Amino acid sequence: MPLRSTATARQERLGAELRKMREAAGITARDTARLLGTDPAKVSHIEAGRLGVSEERLRRLASFYECGDTELIDALVVMANGLGRKGWWEAYRGVVPAALLDIAELEFHATALRTIQITHIPGVLQTEDYTRTVFGYAIPPLPPGELEARVAQRMERSSVLYRDSAPPYEAVVHEAALRMRFGGGKVARAQLEHLMELSHLPHIRVRVIPFAADGHIGSGHAMLYTSGAVRALDTVQIDSAHGVTFLHAASQLANYRTLYNTLAAVALDESHSRDFILSASREL
């Protein structure tokens, strides 16, 4: 297989799981290279996601590492076999930041999606005008062509909610996000109406944390939690001033599951959340 110049987050994740497996077995990259009849540099490339791995080789490695988690191994095989197929997001490569494409790929392959948003409506639930306004606040300002490409890519991301095999989607949204008037009253009102419509879909749950809620002060943290085919392949995506970060260490995943459950516990139920969103939209 040819060496990739760069790896996507999903390609890197496959390599990272193989590295975790090797390290858990106490086996060196040099020993793995001997098994595969190659050199340690190629093992490093595989574990960095820059070199693909076949199903036969992946299963040989799992056996060599004495990994008995057959569900994880099968999930990694599915991942490896699908990495050569290009998704719709590849049409935006070189135009939209790679991290935004990685998010779309994560959502596409997720078995379930959960998100916490404090100041913004979740990305896949946004309207086009709302998205354009949010990206329009970028510093430094985006060139018009890149701005429109980012808007188009985000709108296409929402297709994950409408396909036949759409994953369950849960959003915990703080009241602050509902009150933000991105684009002015008309745009903000249309966004809340769109959020209401989506909340009625059977696989989508939207719950609101009102300002009056107690028990979450200081713990609020925006994030996207994507569930993999097995729990070990879950991923957390967070935004920061420095860009997008993907987390998948077992301790990190456990912490973010706790965070989500903590905030969900103080959120309104779905019915009262819809009433709250309706009230907020009427006040715009």
Distances (CA, A) of 118 to 68, 99, 121, 165: 41, 21, 8, 28
Predicted local confidence at residue 178, as pLDDT: 98
233-282 pLDDT, tens digit each: 999 999 877 789 999 999 999 999 999 999 999 999 999 999 999 999 99
Residue of 219, 229, 212, 221 lying closest to 268 (CA atoms) = 212
183-199 pLDDT, tens digit each: 999 999 999 999 999 99
Residue of 213, 196, 219, 212 lying closest to 270 (CA atoms) = 196
Predicted local confidence at residue 2, as pLDDT: 74
200-209 pLDDT, tens digit each: 999 999 999 9
Reduced to 3 states (helix: H, G, I; strand: E, B; else coil), residue 96 is strand
89-130 pLDDT, tens digit each: 999 999 999 999 999 999 999 999 999 999 999 999 999 999
Using the 8-state DSSP alphabet, how is residue 93 labeled? B
Q: What is the mean pLDDT of the segment spanning 46-61?
A: 96
Residue 217 pLDDT level (bands cut at 50, 70, 90): low
First to last CA, the chain: 56
Predicted local confidence at residue 219, as pLDDT: 65
Report phi then psi at 247, rounded to 5: -120, 140
Q: Are strands 169-174 and 204-209 parallel, antiparallel or unpaired?
A: parallel
Predicted local confidence at residue 221, as pLDDT: 82
Q: Report CA 186 to chain centroid distance, whole Å.
A: 29
Which range has the worst mean pLDDT, 12-16, 30-34, 210-214? 210-214
User: Quick one: what percent of the chain has pLDDT higher than 70?
Assistant: 98
Residue of 278, 262, 117 lying closest to 200 (CA atoms) = 278
Predicted local confidence at residue 118, as pLDDT: 94
Predicted local confidence at residue 242, as pLDDT: 76
Strand partners, 205: 170
Who's near 117: CB < 8 A, 6+ residues apart? 171, 172, 173, 174, 177, 222
- Looking at every residue in the chain, the average pLDDT score rounds to 94
How far apart are alpha carbons 189 and 179 in whole angstroms?
10
Helix, strand, coil: what percent of the chain each, to 5? Answer: 55, 15, 35
Distances (CA, A) of 29 to 7, 16, 248: 20, 13, 22
